[in-house]
Amino acid sequence: QQQVKQSPQSLIVQKGGISIINCAYENTAFDYFPWYQQFPGKGPALLIAIRPDVSEKKEGRFTISFNKSAKQFSLHIMDSQPGDSATYFCAATGSGNTGKLIFGQGTTLQVKP
């Protein structure tokens, strides 16, 4: 119940294309869903986050779509750029979790020029 399942494990997209990464969770007590971006040799950094009271959140080229009934959420990267090549992690946490983030398995994105 504490798991967050992420797919695909790896993704190759052409420059200008749309990258889509999907996550699913089971614990209905989760109420905060951040996405973290990690470049090689660096620590993860918050990219964008959503709470389940909205179905979509957009920040620049990055959009989270959230489906509460299906317990799924996804990250869309529009107009993907080579600089977006990184590993992306979805995560979830809930009240009473003391800030504990449950991470998905990660998706390695490569954007080809």
Query: What is the CA angle 52-55-61, rounded to 5?
Result: 115
Q: Which one of 34, 64, 77, 86 is in contact with another protein (CB under 8 A)?
A: 34
**Straight-line distance from the first to the last Cα atom of the chain, in angstroms, rounded to the nearest whole number:** 40
Helix (H) or strand (E) holding 107: strand 107-112
Q: Which stretch binds another protein (CB under 8 A): 11-19, 62-70, 73-81, 87-95?
A: 87-95
1 touches another protein (CB under 8 A)? no
- Please, are residues 84 and 34 in contact by the beta-carbon 8 Å criterion? no
108 touches another protein (CB under 8 A)? yes
Q: Residues in the site for another protein, rule: CB under 8 A? A: 31-32, 34, 36, 38, 41-46, 49, 87, 89, 93, 95-101, 103, 105-106, 108
